[in-house]
A and B are shown apart, each in its own frame.
Chain A
Amino acid sequence: MSIQTQPPDPPPVAEAPKPEKAGLGDRLLGGARQLVVPVLSLFTALLIGAIVIILSDPVFIAKVGSNPGAALAAGISSVGSAYSGLLAGALGNPFKDITPVTETLLRATPLIFAGLAVALGFRAGVFNIGAEGQIYIGALFATAVGINFADMPLLIHLPLAVAAGFVGGALWGFIPGILKAQTGAHEVITTIMLNYISYLVVDLALRQVFFQLPGRDDPVSKFILPTATLPRLFADERLHWGLILALVAAVAVWWLLFRSTKGFEFRAVGLNPSGARYAGINISRTVVLTMMISGGLAGLAGASEILGTNLRLTPGFSPHWGFDAIAIALLGSSRPVGVVFSAILFGALRAGATPMQAQTGIPIDLVVVIQGLVIMFIAAPGLVRGIYRIKVAKTTGTEIFSKGWGA
């Protein structure tokens, strides 16, 4: 047996196994890598936001024909004042006045709850667009408890009202969950529809004697009793214990997802439903449970807002937190800690927008533009990678073509 070997063939010794991937260092790097797309998305969104400010600046528009240099300078100065106004509104000078920071955190609180709700769903492969509706029903349930039971001590009344918020949201999440599990109805459709139903349910409920503030004809609830009110964290600031609950919820969701058997099931179903089925996991039950916990978390957003900030329920009290939550979950990579930071960022944008408008005349809508751009870039990571020419990790890059070869 002869082999015409072109280069001399090395003796066939067993070669040392090559490690396929490195260990800890790579994982840390991987962690940092996960931040790249969100951070660059935000950066790019601010950059494009700046262009929008320049293009809509009245001085720029007036002068761009005659004196483009001056026009551009005016535009750039508007960008400067807009972003510094935004920053001042969101942060202020925390050493002198904590109000801007507490306002940011106040606005972040419901966003944390709702962001966790959507993120939990994502992890289990469920797209819960119904956080908005679950917020309303949660708020309604919390209100029902909060305006009643006058003689109950705070230590019982308040937890009961908060729990009622969770139950209300969970109930509203159960409906699309069971519909999906039993009939295959897609949760995106059912949750959107349930959002509309929830608005009307709240409107209808607030016109009933049980809820309606005596002497009013419009849908406004009675005031939450002091024993069911979330106490303030600082005497002169609106920020309340809802924030602490939201942070506790973030830790709880982290534990549930990454340290519990239920979370193992959620994530297995989310990553590979047929693999989960093979492993003996009941997918229907997991979907229903996910939707209930997700709905419950969204319900807590409503409860915390009514019991801590508004102290009475009105229709339209949520400025679309349930939808911002989708962006927050995406921006936070569906990780609880990421959700917390993303929610604070969105809270800061919201809190800073009003002072910015007051000081610079740049409309609040700019914040909506920036949020929209962030979502767009997050949803299209390829776009961000393309703009900044980021190389994709080996496992996803080179194997795309080679798959067809089966070799």
Chain B
Amino acid sequence: MKLELKGITKRFPSVVANEGVDLVVMPGEIHALLGENGAGKSTLMNVLYGLYQPDEGQILIDELPVQFNGPGDAIAAGIGMVHQHFMLIPVFTVTENIMLGVESTSGPLLALDRDAARQRIVDLSEEHGLRVDPDAYIEDLPVGVRQRVEILKTLYRHSNLLVLDEPSAVLTPQEVEDLFEVMRSLARTGTSIIFISHKLNEVLQIADRITVLRRGKVVGTTTPDATDEAELARMMVGRPVQLEVTKSAPRAGDEILTLRGLSVLDDRGQLAVNSVDLSVHAGEIVAVAGVHGNGQTELVEAITGLRKLEAGSIELGGEAAPTDPRSIYLAGVGHVPEDRLEEGLVVGFTIAENIILNSYYLQPFANGLAIQLDAVNKVSSELVREYDVRTPSVQNDVGNLSGGNQQKVIVAREFSRPLKLLVAAQPTRGLDVGSIEYIHKRIVAKRDEGTAVLIVSTELEEILSLGDRIAVMYQGRIVDILDPSEATPERLGLLMGGAHPEEGVVPEPVAS
């Protein structure tokens, strides 16, 4: 399918989300759409999918103008979408999920014709190299396979243009390789692909052409051999961006955090952290790598007092660490939580209230029961300025800020006091290049002040550029601790996938 978006303009009451956007996707082309948060990628794709009507411009498919009044029209025209958050029913089989909504039936009672659907799925997966067991239940499948099911779902509906929204965010490096293989195979058979991403290296690796959006406008279209990461970043942000974190060698001091045989259960009572030993010294950054869901969340929650220990001990500066979040805070531990909207911020509170979220009862913010608004406003205004939070007033609801500015509010709150230990989980998740650069600088600055820093991240680049030592977590265990000099992306990828590089064996994902 050849898709052409011509002069798409979409205005909202306070912003122009897309302004005269032109985009051409040729048959069998992998076209990457790159841009920061709020650059207008989502709006453009929502226009393409019929969720929004453009104010100006038109959509052409194979040279013919089309009008989409809803996703149904877009699907009928052959456009398929794979969202970042999968839309699958866990207790249904692969076949049932794929046929859901377009069920084929047989007989007078309109019985579901699973066999016919199953056969088509088997054919499609063979044709495109999408290895999936059509009878497996979704809940038993690893994330990478679920994504294949989502892709199959669109192919089953006869899509010949696929939109993949940040498809690699939830995958291990090996799964990303598999995905790219599938994408190439689809492209070979004539399916066009729009690949939305903010990971520059992936875009350069897979795309035929790259279109960069900034503030609703197309900045330019280029090809991987004509550009590089630095140039793409500059196009996205509008200024040169320092992609590499510059930091001096660590000057590690005393041991601050000591974990001994730490075991923690997850919400379902399963062992999520399995006898972990780890230490973090003053003035060093220990980065914990791992695919999401391998116990990192529970590890951080245990250290910060949000989850009970099942076994083992946590020591802070050589003494048993306090066990509740408030005492841990007072002991000099800063915590940037994994999910800023779920835990890190109270949406509905102002920026000022979020700045004092865990110190509201202390001097100078409180005097007995009474909150001292003057002090709150003064300190929070200073911090907002110092940490470059873009807002006209600290009295604004924190929910109105962009993700990057929300994260800066958390960073301002957690970094603006002397810390013994800083625990940061996914500190830059979902942020744009400019904000990532800023937050990485702040983390390194904190390390250089002599704070012990523990970073948990699923982004290899972040791990490699920040970590002074790199620990890899797999199924609740620290499987290896590496020096950055010996940690290549390949080696880390294998460790994160549960393989021992020495043996060179990658275990097959279960039930795939």
Residues of A that sit less than 8 Å from B by CB? 1-7, 9, 12-15, 17-24, 27, 259-262, 264, 267-268, 271-272, 274-280, 391, 394-395, 397-398, 401-402, 404-407
Q: Contacts A405-B165, A406-B169 hold; do A262 and B369 have CB atoms under 8 A apart?
A: yes
Q: Which residues of A contact B326 (CB under 8 A)?
A: 280
Contact with A along B332-369 (1 / 0, CB 8 A): 00010100001111111100010001101100001001
The answer on a CB contact under 8 Å between A261 and B42 is no
Q: Which of A6, A23, A279 contacts B392 (CB 8 A)?
A: A23
Q: How far is the CB of B17 from chain A (nearest CB, A)?
A: 7
Q: Which residues of B contact A15 (CB under 8 A)?
A: 238-239
Q: Which residues of A contact B370 (CB under 8 A)?
A: 259-261
Q: Which of A21, A24, A264, A406 contacts B371 (CB 8 A)?
A: A264
Interface residues of B in 189-248 (CB under 8 A from A): 196, 198, 218-222, 226-228, 231, 234-235, 238-240
The answer on a CB contact under 8 Å between B238 and A14 is yes
Q: Which residues of A contact B397 (CB under 8 A)?
A: 395
The answer on a CB contact under 8 Å between A278 and B337 is yes
Residue B91 interfacial (CB < 8 Å): no
The answer on a CB contact under 8 Å between A401 and B42 is yes
Residues of B that sit less than 8 Å from A by CB? 12-15, 17, 22, 35, 37, 39, 41-43, 45-46, 51-52, 83-85, 165-166, 169, 196, 198, 218-222, 226-228, 231, 234-235, 238-240, 304, 306, 324-326, 329, 335, 337, 342-349, 353, 357-358, 360-361, 366, 369-371, 373, 390-393, 395-397, 399-402, 405, 430
The answer on a CB contact under 8 Å between B366 and A20 is no
Q: Contacts A260-B370, A280-B325, A405-B165 hold; do A21 and B400 have CB atoms under 8 A apart?
A: yes
Q: Which of B42, B325, B348, B401 contacts A405 (CB 8 A)?
A: B42
3 cross-chain pairs, A with B, having the tightest CB-CB distances, nearest first:
A280-B326, A405-B42, A402-B42
Q: Which residues of A contact B165 (CB under 8 A)?
A: 404-407
Bound-complex Cα distance A404 to B397 (A): 22
Q: Which residues of A contact B46 (CB under 8 A)?
A: 401-402, 405
Bound-complex Cα distance A277 to B329 (A): 12
Bound-complex Cα distance A347 to B218 (A): 60
The answer on a CB contact under 8 Å between A278 and B84 is no
Bound-complex Cα distance A97 to B308 (A): 67
The answer on a CB contact under 8 Å between B238 and A1 is no
Residue pairs across A and B with Cβ atoms less than 8 A apart, 15 shown, are A1-B227, A3-B226, A6-B221, A7-B218, A261-B369, A268-B346, A275-B346, A277-B325, A278-B357, A279-B357, A394-B14, A397-B12, A405-B84, A406-B84, A407-B39
Q: Which of B222, B346, B402 contacts A272 (CB 8 A)?
A: B346
Q: Contacts A278-B335, A280-B325 hold; do A20 and B400 have CB atoms under 8 A apart?
A: yes
The answer on a CB contact under 8 Å between A5 and B220 is yes
Bound-complex Cα distance A6 to B22 (A): 9
Task: List 4 additional A-B contacts (Cβ < 8 Å) besides A21-B396, A398-B43.
Answer: A14-B239, A23-B392, A267-B349, A272-B346
Q: Contacts A23-B392, A394-B12 hold; do A280 and B324 have CB atoms under 8 A apart?
A: yes
Q: Which residues of B contact A280 (CB under 8 A)?
A: 324-326, 329, 358
The answer on a CB contact under 8 Å between A277 and B369 is no
Q: Contacts A21-B400, A259-B371, A401-B46 hold; do A2 and B226 have CB atoms under 8 A apart?
A: yes
Bound-complex Cα distance A2 to B196 (A): 22
The answer on a CB contact under 8 Å between B239 and A271 is no
Q: Which residues of B contact A394 (CB under 8 A)?
A: 12-15
Bound-complex Cα distance A275 to B51 (A): 33
The answer on a CB contact under 8 Å between B42 and A17 is no
Bound-complex Cα distance A404 to B370 (A): 41
Q: How far is the CB of B352 from chain A (nearest CB, A)?
A: 11
Q: Which residues of A contact B343 (CB under 8 A)?
A: 272, 274-275, 277-278
Q: Which residues of B contact A267 (CB under 8 A)?
A: 346, 348-349
Q: Contacts A259-B371, A261-B361 hold; do A12 and B239 have CB atoms under 8 A apart?
A: yes
Q: How far is the CB of B459 from chain A (nearest CB, A)?
A: 14
Bound-complex Cα distance A275 to B339 (A): 10
Q: Contacts A21-B391, A260-B369 hold; do A6 and B218 have CB atoms under 8 A apart?
A: yes
Q: Which residues of A contact B342 (CB under 8 A)?
A: 272, 274-275
Q: Contacts A261-B369, A262-B369, A394-B12 hold; do A268 and B357 have CB atoms under 8 A apart?
A: yes
Q: Contacts A12-B238, A401-B51, A402-B42 hold; do A4 and B13 have CB atoms under 8 A apart?
A: no
Q: Which residues of B contact A405 (CB under 8 A)?
A: 41-42, 45-46, 83-84, 165-166, 196
A272: nearest chain-B partner, CB-CB: B346
Q: How far is the CB of B371 from chain A (nearest CB, A)?
A: 6
Q: Contacts A259-B370, A261-B361 hold; do A406 and B12 have CB atoms under 8 A apart?
A: no
Q: Which residues of A contact B221 (CB under 8 A)?
A: 4-6
Bound-complex Cα distance A348 to B489 (A): 72
Q: Which residues of A contact B401 (CB under 8 A)?
A: 20
The answer on a CB contact under 8 Å between A268 and B392 is no
Q: Which residues of B contact A27 (CB under 8 A)?
A: 395
Q: How far is the CB of B292 from chain A (nearest CB, A)?
A: 14
Bound-complex Cα distance A3 to B219 (A): 10
Most B CB within 10 A of own CB, among A12, A19, A271, A278 = A278
Most A CB within 10 A of own CB, among B15, B239, B343, B430 = B343
Q: Which of A9, A268, A279 contacts B219 (CB 8 A)?
A: A9
Q: Which residues of A contact B52 (CB under 8 A)?
A: 401
Bound-complex Cα distance A275 to B84 (A): 25
The answer on a CB contact under 8 Å between A23 and B393 is yes
Q: Contacts A18-B390, A279-B357 hold; do A395 and B227 have CB atoms under 8 A apart?
A: no
Most A CB within 10 A of own CB, among B83, B326, B357, B400 = B357
Q: Which residues of A contact B17 (CB under 8 A)?
A: 398
Bound-complex Cα distance A5 to B346 (A): 42
Bound-complex Cα distance A3 to B399 (A): 37
Q: Which residues of A contact B235 (CB under 8 A)?
A: 3, 9, 12
Q: Which residues of B contact A20 (CB under 8 A)?
A: 390-392, 396, 400-402, 405
Bound-complex Cα distance A174 to B371 (A): 26
The answer on a CB contact under 8 Å between B227 and A3 is yes
Q: How far is the CB of A78 from chain B (nearest CB, A)?
A: 43
A274: nearest chain-B partner, CB-CB: B343
The answer on a CB contact under 8 Å between A1 and B228 is yes
Bound-complex Cα distance A391 to B41 (A): 23
Bound-complex Cα distance A210 to B218 (A): 83
Q: Which residues of B contact A24 (CB under 8 A)?
A: 393
Q: How far is the CB of B198 from chain A (nearest CB, A)?
A: 8
Q: Which residues of B contact A274 (CB under 8 A)?
A: 342-343
Q: How far is the CB of A6 from chain B (nearest CB, A)?
A: 6
Most A CB within 10 A of own CB, among B166, B169, B196, B396 = B396
The answer on a CB contact under 8 Å between B220 and A6 is yes
Q: Which residues of B contact A17 (CB under 8 A)?
A: 390
